[in-house]
Structure 1
C-alpha cells in the first residue's frame, strides 16, 4: 500500500513539475519550431519552396527569430499564421507564413527591404515582396494584413 502511495506521489510531483515548466513557456508554437515538431509542416513547407531557385537558408529552414503562431481565417478556411525574421537583421529581412489547418499546404510572403534605405523613405515603396507556395488572393490578403500590422511598415 505504501509503495503505491509513493508511486502516486512521485507521479503527482512529476506532473506538477511538467505543468510548471509548460506554464513558463507561452504555450504557443513558434514559426522557427514548426519544421522540427511535425513532419506535415515540414512536407508542406518543402512543397511551397520547391520551385524556388534561390532562398536564404533561414527561409528554407524557417530558422530565424520566430513569433508565436496565431489561428486566423481567410474566407472559409483556417490558417496557422506567424512571422519569422532573419536573425542578424530583423528590420530588413522578414517572412510571413501561413499553413492551412490540415497542414497540407504552406504559403509565405518574403519581405526584403533594401540595405541602406534612408530613414525618410517608405519601406512599402522600396521593398521586394516575394510570394512562396502560390497563395490565392485570400491568403495573400491575410499575409499582407500581417505585414501592415508591423509598426515599421508605412
Structure 2
C-alpha cells in the first residue's frame, strides 16, 4: 500500500512538472528569462557603427519643407558603404530625430529598409530623398 501511494505521488509530481513545462507563456515573460533575454536584446540592438554614430559620412544639409527646418545627414558602415547605410533627419532644434537604416539583402540585390523614430510623411520623404541621393544607381 505504501508503494502504491509513493507511485501515485511520484506520478502526480511528474504530471505537475509536465503541466508546468507546457503552460502558456507570454512574450514579456519569456524575453526576460535566460537564454531568451540575450537573444531579445541582440535583436533590438544596432550595429556599433549605427549606435555610436561612427560611420563614413558627408556633410549634413539644412533643408526647409512646408515651413519647417530640418538637418539631414547620411553615413555608412566603414569599408562597407554599398551595403550598410543610415540616413537621419533632425528637427530644427535637434531634439527629435528619425532614421532610415538600409542594409543590403543577402542576395546582393535589394536593400532592406527600416524606418526609425516613426517619421511622418514629410520626414519619411526627406529620409528617402537622402537615401536616393546617396544611391543614384539603386
Q: Same fold (TM over 0.5)?
A: yes
* Within-5 A mapping of 1:72-87: 72-87=63-78
Match among 43, 51, 60 for residue 60 of structure 1? 51
Return structure 1 stretches of 4+ with deviation > 3 angstroms. Answer: none
Find the aligned partners of 2:115 and 2:89 in 1 and give their Cα distance: 11
Larger radius of gyration: 2
Q: Counterpart of 1:102?
A: 93
Structure 1 residues 26-84: Cα deviation after superposition (integer angstroms, max 9, x where no partner):
xxxxxxxxxxxxxxxxxxxxxxxxxx812111111111112101101232211111111
Q: Distance in 2 between matches of 1:115 and 1:86?
A: 16
Aligned-partner SS, 1:149: helix
For 1:132 and 1:147, locate their aligned partners in 2 and report how far apart those are by CA, in whole Å. 14
Q: Please state if 1:89 is matched with 2:89.
A: no
Q: Relative contact order (alpha carbons < 8 A, sep ≥ 6): 1 or 2 greater?
A: 1
User: Which protein is richer in strand relative to its size?
Assistant: 2
Q: CA RMSD in A?
A: 1.7
In the alignment, is the contact (CA less than 8 A) between 1:64 and 1:86 conserved in 2? yes
- Listed as ranges, the gaps of 5+ residues in structure 1 are 1-51
TM-score between both structures, scaled by the size of structure 2: 0.63
The aligned counterpart of 1:27 is: none
TM-score by length of 1: 0.57
In the superposition, relative to structure 1, how do residues 105 and 95 fare at CA in structure 2: closer, same or farther (>3 Å)?
same
